[in-house]
Amino acid sequence: MFSYVGISFIFFCLISIVLHSSPNVEARHTNNWAVLVDTSRFWFNYRHVANVLSIYRSVKRLGIPDSQIILMVADDMACNPRNPRPATVFNNANQHINVYGDDVEVDYRGYEVTVENFVRLLTGRLPSDTPRSKQLLTDEGSNVLVYLTGHGGDGFLKFQDSEEVTSQELADALEQMWQKRRYHEIFFMIDTCQAASMYEKFYSPNILAVASSLVGEDSLSHHVDPAIGVYIIDRYTYYALAFLETVQPDSMKTMGEFLAVCPKRVCISTVGVRQDLFARNPHSVPITDFFGALRPVQLTFSSLILPENVANQCSDCEKSNHSSSALSSTNAEKPRKIGYVNQFPVLVENPK
């Protein structure tokens, strides 16, 4: 019984903090999303699939559910007839990690990975009959991790073998997201040749961007698996994955540390970072802000009294769930009985 009280207590603290903070000041997100895209197909691009699956594995392990991960993979390496180890994708010649894992939920696959679908996904301009798994249902409280990998050049990223998205198009798509209040903060990661050119055109706020190479540099692959006979993963993602493997859901590591991953000595290319659009200091941003689904929690030591029979008042809840006035004071005036909360508890100002 006590534990239930404790849980509810924490929950309410959490919600009160979220609801009290206005969106612009001391921004805190309410949910996490990830858009992970591999844009290239064909067997010799095995490494790009391994890249994207590495990030997928990490974010999933750190708590973002599959329903909030949009995974776009342009080719199926696990089932390619040339793969001597069917149904696996490894990030390492020693087969340490099978990034294909047991359950990979690919949302856009094969020829569905197009520039149009990608931009529509970001901006939310999808046909009305699009299944939920293919929609990016973010809001102004969403922290979004965008990861792209493929073959790129100065100012563009190739999709499949036939089209490309330019840096300007990408920047405009992100701006549209901002104007439609589809994100709170974005962490943009890209692993491709001349990757930094892709974030140079960004002009929307609250974007932190990292790229595997500067303009004029190639991003290199890490190593070959002589049994499979392909380059197995790219350097930047390899080291990023190595770093992320050390992160646990309760980790105190910061984005600042993540941005320092893969120094030139091992990466050969220079990792580019753009943080002028990002209001916060990366060194004070927990890595779980983007890679996990943990919401910020703050403990309070003053006691709170929860409203009575919240659980029974669902209809009322919904009516008044946006008003978030002095909660604690109301509660203090009228002590109520503590009850179980709904799955999505919302506080009521004046339960009747």
Supply the residues annotated as catalytic. Answer: 151, 193
107 contacts 70 by C-beta, under 8 angstroms: yes
Give the C-alpha separation, 320 to 184, whole Å: 24
Binding string to other proteins for residues 70 to 99, with x set by CB under 8 A, is what? ----------xxxxx-x-------------
Pick between residue 81 and residue 131 the one whose CB is nearest to other proteins: 81
Q: How far is the CB of 95 from other proteins (least distance, A)?
A: 14
Q: How far is the CB of 181 from other proteins (least distance, A)?
A: 32
- For residue 220, what is the DSSP state? -
Give the C-alpha separation, 256 to 281, whole Å: 8
One-letter identity of residue 116:
E
Give the C-alpha separation, 57 to 89, whole Å: 12
The reply on whether position 229 binds other proteins by CB under 8 A is yes
Pick between residue 46 and residue 108 the one whose CB is nearest to other proteins: 46
Pick between residue 80 and residue 300 the one whose CB is nearest to other proteins: 80
Size of the site for other proteins (CB under 8 A): 16
The reply on whether position 227 binds other proteins by CB under 8 A is yes
Q: How far is the CB of 221 from other proteins (least distance, A)?
A: 11
Q: How far is the CB of 75 from other proteins (least distance, A)?
A: 11
Give the C-alpha separation, 128 to 130, whole Å: 6
Residue choice 228, 240, 247, 259 for contact with other proteins (CB under 8 A): 228
The reply on whether position 43 binds other proteins by CB under 8 A is yes
Residues 6+ apart with CB under 8 A from 122: 35, 136, 146, 173, 174, 176, 177, 182
For 120, the token pair is 């529509």
* Residue-wise burial string across 316-344, b where 16 or more C-beta atoms lie within 10 A, e elsewhere: bbeebeeeeeebbebbeeeeeebbebeee
Pick between residue 23 and residue 84 the one whose CB is nearest to other proteins: 84
Summarize as ranges the residues that interact with other proteins (CB under 8 A). Answer: 42-44, 80-84, 86, 224, 226-231
